[in-house]
Structure 1
Amino acid sequence: MLRIPEFRMLIDAPAECGLASAPGVYLFGPVHGQFGLGVTRADPADDPAGDLASQYELMAALGPVGANGATILNRRDPAVPFIGAIRNPDTAELFLLAPFNHARLAEPELRRECARLLGYVSFVSPAMEAWIAVLSGAALVSADAYRSTPGAGGYTVEERYALRPDGIYEWVKETQVTVGAGGLSASRTGREHAVGSWDVVDVSGRPALRLDDANGNRRVLALDRRGPDVLLDGVRFALGRLRS
C-alpha cells in the first residue's frame, strides 16, 4: 500500500510498484522506472478550454477504469496523447495522472499499462481516517474464557494485536486447554504468532483492517465499535495504547 498523505490518496499496488516525488508531483509505477504515472492536482492551466471537469464526467461515465472513478482523457498533444484522471469522492477534487514512458512503449501498450496503474488508485475516506487515528499505536486484547463443571477442565483463548504507528503489526494468539477427570488434570498450551503490515482499507463502502503478514498471507477484518471496545469481525477487543 502506497500513500500520498497530502492528496489523501491510496495506491493499493503490487510490491513491485513504488512511489517517488519531484517538485509539485509524485511519480508512481514499477520500480524499474521505465514507465508509470505522474500524479498531481488538476490546475486550470492544464485545460485552457475550461472543460476539464465536464470531460472527466463524460469519460468516467463512458470508460471507467477500476472501481474508484478513474478514467483516461484523450488529448490532442502528440507528446502526451492521453492522461489519467480521478476525483476524490469526498472532496470533489480532481487529480491528473500523466504517463511517463522511458521504455518507449507504443501508445496502445502504454495505455494498457496506465489503465492497470489507474485501477490501483483510491482515496482515504473520513471514516477510514477516523479508524487510522484510533488504531495507530493501539494495543488490542481479546480474552475468551470458558469453564465447564468444576474439576472437568476448560480452555482459555487470548489474542493480542500491537498496531504500531509506522504500519507494522504483531499478532499473538495463546490457548490453554485443561482436562480434568478422577481428581487428575492435564493441560496443553498453544501459541500462534505473526508480524507484518497493517492498514485500513475500504470494503464495500466500509472500513476494514487489512493485515499482510511476512509470509504473504492476508486477512481483512471488518471494523466496528461497541462502547470503548473495538470489534474485529464481530469479536470484541479491549482498546489500549502501546507503550512508547
Structure 2
Amino acid sequence: MLRIPEFRMLIDAPADCGLAAAPGAYLFGPTHGTFGLGVTRASPADDTAGDLLSLYELMAALGPVGTHGATILNRRDSDVPFIGAIRNPDTAELFLLAPFNHAGLAEPELRRECARLIGYVSFVSPAMESWTSVLSGTVMVGADTYRSTPGAGGYTVEERYTFRTDGIYERVKETQVTVGVGGLSASRTGREREVGSWDVISTDGRPALRLDDADGNRRVLALTRRGPDVLLDGERFVLDRFRS
C-alpha cells in the first residue's frame, strides 16, 4: 500500500510499484521506471476552458476505470494524448494522473498500462482514518479467552493483536489444555505467532482490517464496534493502549 498523506490518497499497488516525489507532484509506477503516472492536484492552469469538472463527470459516468471513480480524459496533444482523473468523494477535490512514457510504448499499450495503475488509486475515507486512529498503538485481546469443560479438566485460549504505529502487527495465540483423571492431571501448551503489516481499507464501502503476514498470506477482517470493544469478523476483542 502506497500513501500520499498530503492528498489523502491510497495506492493499493503490487509490490513491484513505487512512489517518488517531485516538485508539486508525485510519480507512481513500476519500479523499473519506464512508464507510470504523475499525480497532482488539478489547478486553474489545467482548465483554461473551464469545463474540466464537467468533462470528468461525463467520462467517469461513461468510461470508469477501476472501482474508485477514476476515468481517462482524451486530449489533443501529441506529447500527452490522454490524462487520468479521479475525485476524492469526501472532499470533491479533483486530481490528475498524467502518464510518463520513458519506454516509448505505443499509445494503446501505454493506455492499458496506465489504466491498470489508475485502478489502484483511492482515498482515505473519514471512517478509514478513524479506524486507523483507533487501532494504531494498541493491543487487542480476545474478550472470550477462557473456556473450560467441567469435570474433565479444561483449556484456556488467549489471542491478542499488537498494532504498531509504523504499520507492523503481531498476533499471538496461546493455548493450554489440562486433562484430569483419577486425581492426576496433565497439561499441554501451544503458541502461534504471526508478524506482518496492517492497514485499514474499504471493502464494499465499509472499513476492514487487512493483514499481510511475513509469509505472503492475506486476511481481510470486517471492523465494527460493540460498545468499547472491537469486533473482527464478529469476534469480540478488548482494546488497550500500549503500556509504557
- TM normalised by structure 1 equals 0.97
SS in 1 for 2:134: helix
User: Which residue in the other structure is 2:138 paired with?
Assistant: 138
Distance of 1:112 and 1:59 partners within structure 2: 17
Distance of 1:155 and 1:3 partners within structure 2: 43
SS in 1 for 2:145: strand
Amino acid at match of 1:191: R
Distance of 1:66 and 1:184 partners within structure 2: 63
User: Which residue in the other structure is 1:225 paired with?
Assistant: 225
SS in 2 for 1:113: helix
Distance of 1:73 and 1:5 partners within structure 2: 25
TM-superposed deviation, 1:181: 2.0
User: Which residue in the other structure is 1:147 paired with?
Assistant: 148
User: Which residue in the other structure is 1:20 paired with?
Assistant: 20
Amino acid at match of 1:126: P
RMSD: 1.0
TM-superposed deviation, 1:187: 1.5
Distance of 1:96 and 1:184 partners within structure 2: 72
TM-superposed deviation, 1:180: 1.7
Structure 1 segments (4+ residues) deviating >4 Å: none
User: Which residue in the other structure is 1:5 paired with?
Assistant: 5
User: Which residue in the other structure is 1:187 paired with?
Assistant: 187
Amino acid at match of 1:176: Q
Any residues of structure 2 matched to 1:165-176 within 5 Å, and which? 165-176=165-176
In structure 1, runs of 5+ residues without a counterpart are none
Q: Establish whether residue 121 from structure 1 lines up as the match of residue 107 from structure 2.
A: no
Distance of 2:243 and 2:212 partners within structure 1: 23
User: Which residue in the other structure is 1:213 paired with?
Assistant: 213
TM-superposed deviation, 1:91: 0.9
User: Which residue in the other structure is 2:108 paired with?
Assistant: 108
| Aligned positions, number | 243
- TM normalised by structure 2 equals 0.97
Distance of 2:20 and 2:184 partners within structure 1: 64
**Greater mean deviation of Cα atoms: 182-191 or 96-105:** 182-191
SS in 1 for 2:105: coil
User: Which residue in the other structure is 2:30 paired with?
Assistant: 30
Distance of 2:90 and 2:119 partners within structure 1: 18
TM-superposed deviation, 1:223: 0.7
Q: How many percent of aligned residue pairs carry the same amino acid?
A: 81
TM-superposed deviation, 1:243: 3.6
